[in-house]
Structure 1
């Protein structure tokens, strides 16, 4: 791949990743069952990340200042860069890290003079930041990754970075070849992507396909068909663990028992959990959200929807939206909806 020009992270990154002080000498205590604990432990040992009272909270979403802090620790202290002109960063614990990454063109702020340090980061935004870090370090990059099923939903400014990280094997999509660009990145996921970049370890989906096939065999035994399961459950990947969400408590227990008894499925590789919505529910919620939006917005307005299984929401991405439409959507879908304007 020809060397890309540096891409600027231009939009969104809830809790900061780490603090200015390291966790107690006993280490991190809440990652023993986490799928990506090896990367987290490595970063902790290298002092790239820290915890609070021994807690890392890997499943919480990472923020812009959290990402800046961890990458700045990876690069090392830059004594030449100390302050920034962002109005919402002055005096924050993350000011030096933010100033350093902006100076190195790994991250950037907003046109209104803010950085939005506490804002969460989406997957496509993190891909851009990670790619900019690779470019800054002079790492070679590849191109030509197979397109994702939701390729059209990836913002134009992020496509080169997403492609580069996918081609290198550092950041892959989830089940059904979906990248889910508007979903937020968790603290644990962010560390694992950066760990792969740092060590050259690739993330593969070959074993995921095999595990899905084995899980679907048990699903068919419980439900009789995949169609019946679609009305009651969902399936998605988080790291290297396959999550199966089920609405009906009795079916959830039956499936959990079937998975546990299946000798072809490695222990703790599949997690059966309660889900508020099923595949069919998400499909209906997305259709409803688009219908409500189109009823009151301009015909040339851009709109797309995608499911966020991890946070149990439907993500509606639009180019613009009126107060009336927002009220209508909130009234109809409530907390099941997240609106992204870009």
Structure 2
């Protein structure tokens, strides 16, 4: 799966569905002429509705915390799992979803080890959770502002920023300019909103949707993603989904992408020095070299940077000159980029998350996200940056 730095790009108003909006009909018998039927069919077709098995969807039923966790987990495509076990998880599959969203700060559990999956979710709570998910994915700037909801004063202060953002992005629609923050959000309303987030049509580009379609095309052309990753990489560079190729693409790949990807215009095929499998090998060489030369205590973590064609490595203290020399011999000159905690901890925050690119961060810079947490590399997700921050705090003490 692709390690995403950004999953969402241009979020604009939903327009008429294109010819790609033909999905397998969900088996639910209680949808009737529901306005959000297309959204439900789309989410069902993409395995996002695991919380509603069987033949009934109960569209007017209020969404619960457990439902929401599974909805986000299904939509996210590759949200990493986590070794958390909630005492009140209804099933192992539901626990996987709850653990994933909780570990990444999207929808957290409670101090007593419970998740309260049956607790209903209000509209403002749903907005706050969706906003956290969008922040995890990587937000773009708000491109427009709209008049506030008429009942904005009744929105909880902690949720106001989230509600305003979704309103400005036209993700939670309102015909009468009322948000009704304390009302429970129904399954149908939640499905409609997640459809806006995860489906591309018109000028709206969903990174999740494009990525899913490209992966299907690559699977069909190469037989499997592991087979493709022997020859290339797949990553987002801003609003472009890049297929980095060591050799030229298969003869009919471009034709298949044009046919199968609704937003072919956001794809770019670039020549690449390494394939995904090469990065895996180079990363292991770098890790083994550092551990063998300086001990496992000095190694923190590593991540491939497909755009820069480097391996990004974080260590506790600066590496010895002899270790750096051996890294060049075993991995290659200029391939490993080292960040050490002593330098990072001494650096002052430089820029705000969302404003930084890979080029903006030097080895001695850090930044912060909207919650005030340090961001040590734009390559790392929230959980990874928090882990690095925890190690730094231990080092400082």
TM band (smaller chain): 0.3 to 0.5
TM-score normalised per structure 1: 0.47
Q: Give the TM-score normalised by structure 2.
A: 0.41
